[in-house]
Amino acid sequence: MPAILAEGLAKHFSPDIKAVDGIALEVPEGQIFGFLGANGSGKTTTVRMLTTLLRPTAGRAEVVGLDVTRHAGEVRSRIGVALQEAGLDDIQTGRELLALSARLYRVAPSEIAGRVAQLLRIVDLEDAADRRLKTYSGGMQRRLDLAAALVHRPSVVFLDEPTTGLDPISRDSIWRYVAELNRSEGVTFFLTTQYLEEADRLCHDVAIMDYGRIVAQGSPEELKASIGTDVVSLRIEGGADELTRAEQAVRRFEGIEDVRAVDDAVICYVREGSSAIAKLVLLLDEAALRAKEVTLARPTLDDVFLKKTGHHLEADEAGAGADPAGRARGRRP
Amino acid sequence: MRHAIGDTYFLMIRALRETVRQPALEIGNVFIPIFFFAVTVGAIGSSAARAFGVDNYTGFQMPIAVLQGVAGAAGVAGIGTVTDIERGYFDKLLLTPAARISLAMGRLAADGVRICLLSAFILVVGIVFGSGLESGPLGAVVLVAMSGLFGLAYSGIGMALALKTGSAQAAQLGFLIFFPLLFLSPAFAPKEFFAPWLEFLATINPVTYIVEGMRSLVLEGWDAAALGKAFASIVAMGAFTMTLVLLGLRSRTA
């Protein structure tokens, strides 16, 4: 039985706003599954449907073998969720918040104090346990939120962008807790993220979501291997015209598998990167174009993302962040 | 059902903890009714016997001070819920298996407790000012309980608006609704002295019966008919506002 299953899952806020447009997912038990996508790609809407906060427009989803619409109450008691905003009650102390969560999750009264103390220790918040949450830093709030999601020992935990906005040290702490809990207790994690490094480092499998649809799915290694090539990036001097001409020029290279023009660069996917560089530069030279910078790299998840969606993930954030709903309004031609 | 009661209790304790940790928020609810009480009695008290045949105008006004305090506390009942919605904590609560109704009832129950304490304080201040209390200590308990129940019923308006809209401005409308209801009741003079149109409006206004029920405890002792009408008005209001709360809650849940 998969920990999470979705078939044709969709959420349409209106005929024009298709936040999630019929996705299929299967996450085995004990896996850390990463859901990659830019702001507004439909990640959070998917999480809200899988965690019973939103009713799907179409399709179905099961979590721990239970239909999220028909058995919402049971699903809630079996999962833990840390949403995008920590969403904590800053009047309470950390210990009080965890104890209240434990009570609402029906943890046996005799176990609550011990479980709360254990979780505070796991997330390194013992010293701050009796301080009000308004005195917590963002990183401390995220760690406490993660602890609150674990208070009833759920078998599946959803983390919606658990590290967004955190400093590198806090981010690393969250990664460590997730990896440790997955390894030691077999907890299945479903995490959405915009950080490709996070997905690459933590996740057994990832899905890339764009405009409400899953455009690629597999292990990070499989996805990178699916590109199967080196990535040569040529930053072109000049403007849009030069970039278009450069894209046309490098397409004449026999060993080229794919080309993308992004910002001021032409990204070339080639089999033998080191030997291809000289030929690519020569082709530019023949077209009276100059590369101001040339880099060669093995494919990363960012390259996978770029190839599958046509845009970088992190470079996309500023624009997309200004109008998250805008991305869901319709498919790119 | 057992879970719903337990969840309501835990969420009530959490809401009361907020009050204890932010006592400044209650100052207005205490000060404003006592201020208006003192000013009204000072301005009209000496001529009330001649004008309306009310000898004990301090006692006549004391229930109004209590109700103003109740309205102040209950009228902003939805604000805590709006804050929870805005900071995402309400979603956290929705993600737990807690009974859905308890997410609203926890805060409403806390409001009921706050309002009982506030009413008891204003009642004591009124007695110190010389209002008297003909029904004695048991009457004080009934008056405070009546305040708490009215506050609970009245809080439902702000709670329903908060759940439906998630807006602080909308949630505060509950407070504004109270003043027309209070001024359309015999708050300052017996309704026999009202113009016919105002007397009619006062007759169909449920707050009128709550005022008269409380006033009977202060001025007359035990008047079963007045108390019966008061409790019936509270129950009717409560049934209406709790229906709105359930509708608001339904709009917030998947």
* Position with higher pLDDT, A16 vs B58: B58
Given pLDDT bands bounded at 50, 70 and 90, which one contains residue A314? low
Segment B111-124 shows an average pLDDT of: 94
CA distance B211 to chain A (A): 36
Chain A residues in contact with B91 (beta carbon < 8 A):
53, 83, 87
Give A237-280 pLDDT, tens digit per residue.
998 999 999 999 999 998 888 898 888 999 998 888 888 899 99
Q: How far apart are the first and last CA of chain A?
A: 38
Query: For residue A329, what pLDDT is reported?
Result: 34
What is the amino acid identity at position B47?
Answer: S
Query: For residue A315, what pLDDT is reported?
Result: 44
Give A48-95 pLDDT, tens digit per residue.
999 999 999 999 999 999 999 999 999 999 999 998 776 788 889 999
Chain A residues in contact with B98 (beta carbon < 8 A):
104
Whole-number average pLDDT of chain A: 88
Segment A219-226 shows an average pLDDT of: 87
Q: What is the pTM of this model?
A: 0.81
Look at residue A291 and tell me whether its pLDDT is greater than 70: yes
Chain B residues in contact with A76 (beta carbon < 8 A):
95-97
Q: Which of B17, B88, B97 sits opposite A106 (nearest CB)?
A: B97
Contact between A268 and A259 under an 8 Å Cβ cutoff? The reply is yes
Structure tokens at B147: 């305040």
Q: State whether B87 and A81 contact (CB < 8 Å).
A: no
Q: State whether A104 and B95 contact (CB < 8 Å).
A: no
Query: For residue B45, what pLDDT is reported?
Result: 84
CA distance B107 to chain A (A): 14
Q: State whether B254 and A73 contact (CB < 8 Å).
A: no
The secondary structure of A199-231 as a DSSP string is HHHH-SEEEEEETTEEEEEE-HHHHHHHH-SEE
Contacts of B8 (CB under 8 A, 6+ apart): B99, B101, B102, B105, B106, B109
Which of A47, A83, A91 is most worth mutating to test chain B (most B CB atoms within 10 A of its CB)? A91
CA distance B94 to chain A (A): 7
Q: State whether B95 and A51 contact (CB < 8 Å).
A: yes
Which of A75, A104, A159 is most worth mutating to test chain B (most B CB atoms within 10 A of its CB)? A104
Instruction: Give chain B as a 3 state SS string.
Output: CHHHHHHHHHHHHHHHHHHHHCHHHHHHHHHHHHHHHHHHHHHHHHHHHHHHCCCCHHHHHHHHHHHHHHHHHHHCHHHHHHHHHHHCHHHHHHCCCCCHHHHHHHHHHHHHHHHHHHHHHHHHHHHHHCCCCCCHHHHHHHHHHHHHHHHHHHHHHHHHHHHHHCCHHHHCHHHHHHHHHHHCCCCCCCHHHCCHHHHHHHHCCHHHHHHHHHHHHHHCCCCHHHHHHHHHHHHHHHHHHHHHHHHHHHHHCC
CA distance B167 to chain A (A): 17
Query: For residue A297, what pLDDT is reported?
Result: 86
Look at residue A324 and tell me whether its pLDDT is greater than 80: no
Contact residues of B toward A, CB < 8 A? 3, 6-7, 10-11, 14, 17-18, 21-22, 84, 87-89, 91-98, 254
The percent of residues above 70 in pLDDT, for chain B, comes to 100
CA distance A231 to chain B (A): 42
Segment B100-125 shows an average pLDDT of: 94
Residue ranges per domain, chain A? 4-219, 224-326
Look at residue A148 and tell me whether its pLDDT is greater than 90: yes
Structure tokens at A86: 């920590």
Which of B22, B91, B92, B101 is most worth mutating to test chain A (most A CB atoms within 10 A of its CB)? B92
Domain A4-219 has CATH 3.40.50.300: yes
Whole-number average pLDDT of chain B: 91
Q: State whether A96 and B17 contact (CB < 8 Å).
A: yes
Chain A residues in contact with B82 (beta carbon < 8 A):
none
Identify which of B87, B51, B94 has the alpha carbon closest to the alpha carbon of residue B190: B51
Give A152-204 pLDDT, tens digit per residue.
999 999 999 888 877 888 888 888 889 999 999 999 999 998 888 888 889 99
Look at residue A124 and tell me whether its pLDDT is greater than 70: yes
Give B174-223 pLDDT, tens digit per residue.
777 888 888 899 999 998 899 999 999 999 999 999 999 999 999 999 99
Q: Determine the residue of chain B that is closest to A97 in CA distance.
A: B14
Class of domain A224-326: alpha beta
Q: State whether B92 and A106 contact (CB < 8 Å).
A: no
Give B126-177 pLDDT, tens digit per residue.
999 999 999 999 999 999 999 999 999 999 999 999 999 998 888 877 777 8
* Position with higher pLDDT, A304 vs A331: A304
Give B22-39 pLDDT, tens digit per residue.
888 788 888 999 999 999
The percent of residues above 90 in pLDDT, for chain A, comes to 60
Q: State whether B96 and A104 contact (CB < 8 Å).
A: yes
Looking from the CA of B46 toward its CB, the CA atoms found within 13 Å total: 3
Q: State whether B14 and A100 contact (CB < 8 Å).
A: yes
Which of B17, B96, B107 is most worth mutating to test chain A (most A CB atoms within 10 A of its CB)? B96
Residue ranges per domain, chain B? 2-252
Look at residue A220 and tell me whether its pLDDT is greater than 80: yes
Contact between B29 and B73 under an 8 Å Cβ cutoff? The reply is yes
Chain A residues in contact with B17 (beta carbon < 8 A):
91-92, 96
CA distance B109 to chain A (A): 17
Q: State whether A52 and B18 contact (CB < 8 Å).
A: no
Q: State whether B95 and A52 contact (CB < 8 Å).
A: yes
Given pLDDT bands bounded at 50, 70 and 90, which one contains residue B91? very high
Look at residue B225 and tell me whether its pLDDT is greater than 70: yes
Look at residue A313 and tell me whether its pLDDT is greater than 80: no
Q: State whether A91 and B22 contact (CB < 8 Å).
A: yes
* Position with higher pLDDT, A287 vs A313: A287
